[in-house]
């Protein structure tokens, strides 16, 4: 791109600064509020924290039950991501490596469900969960999450596995590897970067998931973080300081993950979008 | 469909072992629920398993339901406006980063950050920004002497939907930017350099070189955005619950209300809405795919 003139460059700088403030301003504001008490916020909504009230995080964690919501979220997300990664990787590997009638049809069917609106399944999933006594349980939510993330996982991993050269597998076969061993000793290690990408992507998507959780979980003790925050707004809307603290508790893990794995997250998202 | 020469044959037993868990989950938690929802749409379902077959009645009610049509209109409007803005702004931002402006690394991270935040948190932040007394929007208007323009943005039926769409755009622009940037980086360097030698202006280069060359990505993003917005739920539910006066009702929130929030306890009617909407999305996707196939791919 050519360097625009001085005037153009100035205008561009101003526009981009504005955009940056617009993009991250709300989050920085939220972070500041999370360290200020509600009284302080009510006096000046846009003030800087004078004293850093770190105790608010402990208060949110203990008194407002965010500790429970946090660990529920951790358990649900870790369990479903682990399961969907394993199940999805096996299916993707099989669809990428083996030739059999119906191969393409299965692949197409699984990843065409990426486009499904959740409403088409959610009403009957609700019925199924009630019938099998999984309604209002974290196990039920985990099962549903495995189902929702399976298409994306298979989609991303299949394209990666199909690029592993066949020679590697042929060599392993000569060495007497069984099919399952080939998956474990060649597919998984070589596919590791793609697997890590799907793990992180699924983690973020499920960590933020709201619709299935709000339908399938009603018991306070089983709420995940997004539900916990929403309930807190409903209960005590005036306590904005505490709402901000709770919101920060849910943001921090994702932001940390992003700082460590930003390249992988971007790879996963762009691979899902353009192919 | 491409067929890979490299793939090898394997015994059915092995294939079954690899595929069984995924197929079980897929059939149990996707296929079966879809079929059951479609079946439900012909029933009236009251609590404790009292079901009655009502034929096409739910559909007849649906077509005469003004709230459904309003929510459908809102959703379609959202699904068209938001992706266009997302992609246009995302492309401009991506071009800035591609041109390697100073601090581009920082900008890339900052602009992408909203994508990572959950809708619940996004909704909270923005309902504060829209607050009448101390929200940034009204304070900003007052600072520019536009006191008369101040509004309860989420409480005014004329502005609530637009206010929600702004928030949605805020969240997703960064995603479109990153995808556009990846597409631009995938272009061969020479094309841009050739345009540079020909002394193309910024706009000309944007219009004649960048946009056509990543055209398929842009269309892909528009389609992806469209599909995503046709499902929009979280933001609306947390910020306005479809109100005031149905002015932000979307199909998803309406289904949710009818199924789980109102005390009608009928799962049949919302199933009919879900089924109709499923058909609409499917038809749109099929049409978009057919259109995409017909367009000649630009070679480079």
Structure ipTM:
0.89
| Number of C-beta neighbours around residue A44 at 10 A | 11
CA distance A245 to A59: 9
Q: Are B269 and B280 in contact (CB under 8 A)?
A: no
Choose the mutation target among B3, B78, B124, B221 for the interface with A, i.e. most A CBs under 10 Å.
B124
Note the pLDDT of residue B159. 92
Note the pLDDT of residue B213. 84
Provide the token pair at B75: 């959703």
CA distance A233 to A242: 9
Interface of B with A in 256-275 (CB under 8 A): 256, 259-260, 267, 270-271, 273-275
Note the pLDDT of residue B8. 65
Q: What are phi and psi of B53, to 5 degrees?
A: -80, 125
- Chain B residues closer than 8 Å to A269 by CB: 115, 175, 178-179
Note the pLDDT of residue B292. 73
Helix (H, G, I), strand (E, B) or coil at A54: coil
Nearest to A123 among B95, B200, B259 (CB): B259
pLDDT tens-digit readout, B204-260? 777 777 788 888 889 889 988 999 999 999 999 999 988 788 999 999 999 999 988
Choose the mutation target among A102, A104, A117 for the interface with B, i.e. most B CBs under 10 Å.
A117
Distance from CA of B158 to the nearest CA of A (A): 24
- B269 vs A234 pLDDT, higher one: B269
Q: From the first residue on, what is the mean pLDDT of each consecutive set of 10 residues in chain A (275 residues)?
A: 64 88 93 88 83 85 89 96 96 89 87 85 92 93 95 90 84 82 87 91 93 92 91 76 90 90 83 59
- Chain A residues closer than 8 Å to B19 by CB: 90-91, 94-95, 106
CB contact under 8 A, A247 and B125: yes
Query: What length is written for chain A?
Result: 275
Note the pLDDT of residue B64. 93
Distance from CA of A136 to the nearest CA of B (A): 14
Q: Whole-angstrom distance between the N-terminal and C-terminal Cα of chain B? A: 22
Note the pLDDT of residue B296. 56
Q: Tally A–B CB contacts below 8 A.
A: 274
- Chain A residues closer than 8 Å to B91 by CB: none
Nearest to B134 among A45, A127, A143 (CB): A45
Q: Is B28 exposed, middle or buried (0-12, 13-18, 19+ CB in 10 A)?
A: middle
Query: What length is written for chain B?
Result: 300
Interface of B with A in 114-153 (CB under 8 A): 114-121, 124-126, 128-129, 134, 136
Nearest to A147 among B30, B129, B274 (CB): B30
pLDDT at B3 over 50: no
CA distance B181 to B184: 5
Which candidate, A101, A179, A97, A96, places its Cα nearest to that of B13? A179
Choose the mutation target among B34, B50, B120 for the interface with A, i.e. most A CBs under 10 Å.
B120
Q: Are A59 and A248 in contact (CB under 8 A)?
A: no
Whether pTM exceeds 0.80 = yes
CA distance B8 to B30: 29
């Amino acid at each position: 791109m050519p360097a625009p003139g001085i005037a153009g460059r100035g205008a561009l700088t101003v526009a981009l600064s504005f955009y940056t403030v617009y993009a991250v301003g709300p989050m920085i504001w939220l972070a500041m509020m999370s360290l200020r008490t509600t009284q302080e916020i009510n006096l000046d909504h846009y003030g800087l924290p004078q004293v850093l009230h770190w105790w608010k995080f402990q208060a949110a964690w203990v008194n407002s039950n965010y500790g429970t919501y946090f660990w529920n979220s951790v358990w649900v997300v870790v369990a479903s991501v682990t399961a969907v990664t394993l199940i999805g990787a096996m299916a993707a590997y099989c669809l990428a490596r083996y030739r059999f009638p119906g191969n393409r049809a299965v692949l197409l069917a699984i990843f065409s469900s990426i486009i499904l609106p959740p409403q088409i399944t959610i009403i009957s999933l609700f019925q199924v969960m009630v019938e099998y006594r999984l309604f209002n349980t974290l196990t039920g939510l985990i099962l549903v999450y495995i189902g929702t993330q399976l298409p994306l996982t298979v989609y991303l991993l299949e394209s990666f596995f199909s690029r592993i050269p066949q020679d590697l597998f042929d060599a392993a076969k000569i060495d007497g590897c069984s099919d399952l061993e080939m998956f474990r000793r060649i597919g998984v290690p070589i596919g590791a970067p793609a697997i890590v990408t799907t793990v992180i992507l699924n983690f973020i998507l499920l960590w933020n998931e709201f619709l299935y959780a709000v339908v399938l979980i009603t018991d306070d003790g089983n709420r995940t973080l997004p539900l916990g925050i929403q309930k807190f707004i409903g209960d005590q809307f005036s306590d904005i300081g505490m709402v901000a603290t709770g919101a920060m508790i849910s943001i921090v893990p994702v932001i940390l993950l992003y700082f460590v794995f930003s390249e992988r997250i971007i790879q996963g998202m762009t691979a899902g979008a353009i192919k | 469909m491409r067929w890979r020469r490299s793939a090898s044959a394997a015994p059915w037993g092995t294939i079954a072992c690899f595929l069984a868990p995924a197929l079980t989950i897929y059939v149990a938690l996707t296929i079966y629920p879809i079929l059951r929802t479609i079946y439900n749409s012909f029933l009236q379902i009251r609590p404790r398993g009292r079901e009655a077959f009502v034929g096409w009645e739910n559909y007849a009610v649906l077509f005469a339901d003004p709230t459904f049509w309003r929510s459908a209109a809102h959703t379609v409007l959202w699904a068209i406006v938001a992706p266009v803005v997302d992609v246009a702004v995302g492309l401009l931002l991506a071009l800035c980063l591609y041109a390697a402006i100073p601090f581009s690394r920082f900008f890339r991270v900052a602009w992408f950050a909203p994508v990572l935040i959950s809708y619940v948190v996004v909704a909270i932040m923005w309902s504060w920004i829209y607050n009448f007394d101390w929200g940034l929007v009204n304070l900003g208007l007052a600072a520019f002497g536009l006191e008369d323009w101040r509004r309860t943005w989420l409480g005014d039926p004329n502005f609530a939907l637009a206010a929600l769409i702004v928030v949605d755009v805020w969240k997703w622009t960064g995603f479109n930017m990153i995808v556009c940037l990846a597409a631009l980086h995938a272009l061969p360097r020479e094309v841009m350099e050739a345009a540079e030698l020909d002394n193309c202006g910024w706009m000309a280069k944007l219009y004649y070189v960048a946009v056509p060359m990543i055209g398929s990505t842009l269309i892909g993003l528009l389609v992806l955005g469209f599909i995503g917005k046709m499902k929009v739920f979280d933001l609306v539910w947390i910020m306005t619950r479809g109100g005031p006066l149905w002015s932000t009702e979307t199909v998803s929130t309406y289904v949710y209300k009818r199924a789980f929030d109102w005390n009608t306890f009928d799962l049949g009617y919302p199933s009919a809405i879900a089924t109709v909407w499923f058909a609409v999305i499917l038809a749109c996707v099929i049409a978009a795919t057919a259109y995409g196939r017909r367009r000649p791919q630009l070679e480079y």
